[in-house]
Amino acid sequence: MKKIISVLLAALMLITLFSGCGKTEEEKTDEFVIVTSFYPMYVMTINVTRDIPGVKVINMTKPQTGCLHDYQMTPGDLKTLEEAQVFIINGAGMESFLSDVIARRKSLMIINASEGIDLISNDEDELNPHVWVSVTNAIMQVRNISAKLAEMDSKNADKYKQNAEAYIAKLSDLKERMHRKLDGLPNKDIITFHEAFPYFALEFNLNVVAVVEREPGTAPTPQELKQTIEMIKNTKVKALFAEPQYSGSAAQTIANETGVKVYTLDPGVTGDAEEKDYDSYIRIMENNLEVLTQALN
């Protein structure tokens, strides 16, 4: 009798186990999993997918990663991408690792948020990928993300579009407020820390006189520092804009030698660890507006 009971209990455990597996697999199939490459794409995507049941958004990199220049994917990144149906990227060359992703996940749907945006190139004909720093371009990226997600997940198409329009209304208001304050500034010459602001400068008619670090995270050589210092002394530039993601030592050296004041402009590539900070980009740009108004007025 004891043997029969043991067999029945074992059979019941197997049935329970397989029933549980079946349910998990069903839930996994029903969930629409979107992975974003880095923080700016994450902020846009959570706004587009806001309050849509069954849609899960995961940011592949940590919120403090910053720009993905020369970023090397980790085993954790690959594991994150394994559960994704869609991978949303900035494009324009930002995700240099994209070919590795495509090679590993040939069926993965990829949304290039920069599609259709006019790109700026530097003197070496390298495309500048920092398109989201322009509010106008950010709006275009939100539209691209929304349109592609509506195609891929048609049952939620109307919700994606409604969310996108609600967020775009906020971005449009931000853009109008920024133009109102920046268009009339008497001084439009700025020096930036690295090449994150050409699209921003183009939108608000600012003149980037010099860039301290051509390669992000790579300190300028003594000769480059000397050239920048001499250039500042021969112009009327009064402000140097560092970035919170990088060391400000080079900027401080230039300030000490020239008397220019160092301010901070944030390209919006990092955020706090809060899971869904919907207005992060807007707050960052509002702060940039206040900094520029103070520095250039």
Domain borders along the chain are 28-179, 181-296
Q: How high is the pLDDT of residue 234?
A: 85
Q: How high is the pLDDT of residue 15?
A: 40
- CA 252, CA 125: separation in Å to the nearest integer? 30
- CA 145, CA 150: separation in Å to the nearest integer? 9
Exposure string of 47-73, with b = 16+ CB inside 10 Å and e = fewer, is bbbbebeebebebbbebebbbbeebeb
Same CATH topology for 28-179 and 181-296? Answer: yes
Evaluate whether the domain defined by 181-296 bears CATH number 3.40.50.300.
Answer: no
Record the pTM.
0.87
Architecture of the domain defined by 28-179: 3-Layer(aba) Sandwich (3.40)
Q: How high is the pLDDT of residue 214?
A: 66
Centre a 10 Å sphere on the Cβ of residue 123 and count the other Cβ atoms it contains: 6
Q: From start to end of 90-193, where are the E strands?
A: 109-112, 189-192
User: Could you report the average pLDDT of every consecutive run of 10 residues in the chain (297 residues)?
Assistant: 46 41 47 97 98 96 89 94 96 95 94 98 90 98 98 98 98 98 92 91 94 72 87 84 83 88 94 83 98 93
Q: How high is the pLDDT of residue 5?
A: 47
